[in-house]
Amino acid sequence: MSAGVRAGGPQRRTRRFDEIFRCYPIAVLDRKELNYGGKIIMPPSALEKLTRLHIAYPMLFELRNGSKDKTTHAGVLEFIAEEGRVYLPYWMMQTLKLEPGDLLQIKSTDLPSGSFIKLQPQSMSFINAISDPKAVLENVLRNFSALTKSDTFQFLYNDDVFEIQVLEVKPGNESGAISCVETDLEVDFAPPLDYVEPVRPSAPASAGSSRPGSVVGGGRVTPLQEGSMAKAIGYSSLAASATTNAASAFSGSGQRLKGSRTGTPTAKPSTPVAGTSSNPPPPTLTHTIRKGNGPQPLRLPPGKLFFGYETKPVRKNGDKQAEEKKPSMFSGGGQTLRGSGGRKRKGEVDGKGQGRSKTEPIELD
């Protein structure tokens, strides 16, 4: 047994694909939809070499720009490029700071399957235009084989281009990249880059405020002041006009039931005034005062109920004359049974003292 060979046979050394190509944007192939993914196009010779090296699927690559010390990771889409060339999405060339025709080193690599990523949209349009980010990202990530921390990739949705930056990946590793092929990813979102915190409205005045007011039901009621709604609707002018109209509508003199005149009543404002009661004063039992000529409220003493006035129909002049001409059923003169009321009974005399006296003695034979 030779010294260079172990008992188990010759040792196989795992070799990596490591080549240098000139890079160009994928848009020159007139396939602009490929710009919004994470896969590159390589020449057929690269496929032949990968096959000889037994590179397992999925084929993942490390892309490195040595002059700018920039690195990212990608998968391969097709092997149809010209020899010595590779085609990259535009966002990938921006990440690596590459210009068309620059040299790019490509190495095969192995990446762990990802379990978590944290993304940050670069614009508020991502929130405003996409109603279901989970479903959209699930479809977008099918065009990616790997995601690298700090990369900002692009995707197309409803003819709009959106940019998202990768803030964090798990599991963590030295390369800072994960594989997103045939794996379940938990996604978290950071606020968009141009997000502005909304201004919160100022807090209402506390219960211990020094502004004047009255406590009603456990809360503070602040009266209307300048600059509030009272000023906007012209409360003072409306209250003054309402008071004037009320005074002119019910002005006049009142009379007592006995006929003595009273003084001119004082007009009351139609709008309640703070600090005064709008309830009518208690009625007096001695007499009732009627103010004005219009209908007045009925004021009853405590303990009495009102069920309405007795209704009496108004008689017209024609009705009164007809009633006077109507014959009476019981009209006429009366008569005594004897026919004359002037006859005198037997033994009655006209003069006083005439006739038989009650004390006159009667002789009997």
Contact 256, 289 (CB under 8 A): yes
Distance from C-alpha of 232 to C-alpha of 229, rounded to nearest angstrom: 5
pLDDT greater than 50 at residue 214: no
pLDDT greater than 60 at residue 171: yes
Instruction: Name the pLDDT band for 6 (thresholds 50, 70, 90).
Output: very low
Residue 309 pLDDT: 66
Short-list 173, 123, 171, 112, CA closest to 146 = 112
**What backbone torsions phi and psi does residue 166 show, to the nearest 5 degrees?**
-90, 110
Mean pLDDT of 234-249: 64
At a CB cut-off of 8 Å and minimum separation 6, what does 171 contact?
Answer: 112, 114, 115, 178
Distance from C-alpha of 266 to C-alpha of 268, rounded to nearest angstrom: 6
Question: Residue holding tokens 């803030």?
Answer: 167
Q: How far is CA 137 from the centre of its chain?
A: 31
Written as one letter, the residue type at 68 is K
59-118 pLDDT, tens digit per residue, is: 999 999 999 999 999 999 999 999 999 999 999 999 999 999 999 999 999 999 999 999
pLDDT greater than 90 at residue 47: yes
End-to-end CA distance of the chain: 211
Mean pLDDT of 318-346: 60
Instruction: Name the pLDDT band for 224 (thresholds 50, 70, 90).
Output: very low
Residue 239 pLDDT: 66
pLDDT greater than 50 at residue 158: yes
Mean pLDDT of 14-18: 82
**What backbone torsions phi and psi does residue 289 show, to the nearest 5 degrees?**
-105, 125
At a CB cut-off of 8 Å and minimum separation 6, what does 57 contact?
Answer: none
Most confident of 173-187, 217-231, 276-290: 173-187
pLDDT greater than 80 at residue 179: yes
pLDDT greater than 80 at residue 221: no
Torsion sign, CA atoms 271, 274, 279, 284: negative
**What backbone torsions phi and psi does residue 91 show, to the nearest 5 degrees?**
-65, -30
Copy the structure tokens of residue 175: 């390369």
Distance from C-alpha of 183 to C-alpha of 89, rounded to nearest angstrom: 23
Q: Cis (ω within 30 of 0) for the bond into 58?
A: yes
Strand partners, 85: 22
Mean pLDDT of 310-317: 71
Q: How far is CA 347 from the centre of its chain?
A: 118
Residue 82 pLDDT: 94
Residue 220 pLDDT: 47
Mean pLDDT of the chain: 75
Of 202 and 213, which is predicted with more confidence? Answer: 202
Residue 272 pLDDT: 58
Residue 16 pLDDT: 87
Distance from C-alpha of 74 to C-alpha of 64, rounded to nearest angstrom: 11
Residue-by-residue DSSP string for 9-42: BPPPPP---EEEEEEEEGGGGT-GGGGSSBEEE-
Mean pLDDT of 260-273: 55
Q: Residues of the chain with pLDDT > 90: what percent?
A: 34
